[in-house]
Amino acid sequence: MEFWIELVVSVFLVAGAVFVFIGSLGLAKLPDFYTRLHAPTKATTLGMGGLLAASAILMTYQQGHLSLHELLITLFLLITAPVTAHMLAKTAMHHKLQITEKTVDKELSKRARERNTPT
C-alpha cells in the first residue's frame, strides 16, 4: 500500500478516535442530562464520521471502486443523531428533569417547559 494512503487513513482514524473518546468522556463526566446530551450528538458523531471516512478511503483504494457502504452509514448517522437528540431533550423537558445550578439562563428553560406542557 502507498505511504500517502496509509497516512491519510491513519490521520482520519486517530482524529475520529480522539473525537469518539472526547464524546464518551463528556457523556460520563458532564453534570446533568442536558449537558450530557451534547457529547454523543456532537463529538461522537464527528468521530464516527472520521472513522467512516478512513474506512471509505481504505476500501476504495483496495477495491478499486468507490465504496458506498460507509457513505450510507455516515448519512444515516448525520440524519438520526440530531433527531434523536431533539426528541430526548423534548422528553426530558416534558418530564421536568432538573438542570444544574451552574446553568446560566434558567428562565429560558422555565418558559420552554411552560410552553411545551400538554393541556
* Widest Cα–Cα separation across the chain: 64
Question: Closest by alpha carbon to 49, among 29, 72, 25, 27?
Answer: 72
Inside any domain, residue 8: yes
Q: 26-83: per-residue pLDDT in tens? A: 889 888 888 888 888 888 889 999 999 999 999 999 999 988 899 899 899 989 988 9
Residue 60 lies in a domain: yes
63 assigned to some structural domain: yes
The answer to whether 116 and 94 are in contact (CB under 8 A) is yes
Report how many domains make up the chain: 1
The answer to the question of residue 18 being in a domain is yes
Task: Report the chain's mean pLDDT, rounded to a whole number.
Answer: 86
Find the helix or strand (DSSP H, E) in which 27 lies.
Answer: helix 3-29
Instruction: Print the domain residue range for 16.
Output: 3-84
Q: H or E segment at 81?
A: helix 69-94
Length of the chain: 119
Residue 91 covered by a domain: no
Does residue 98 fall inside a structural domain? no
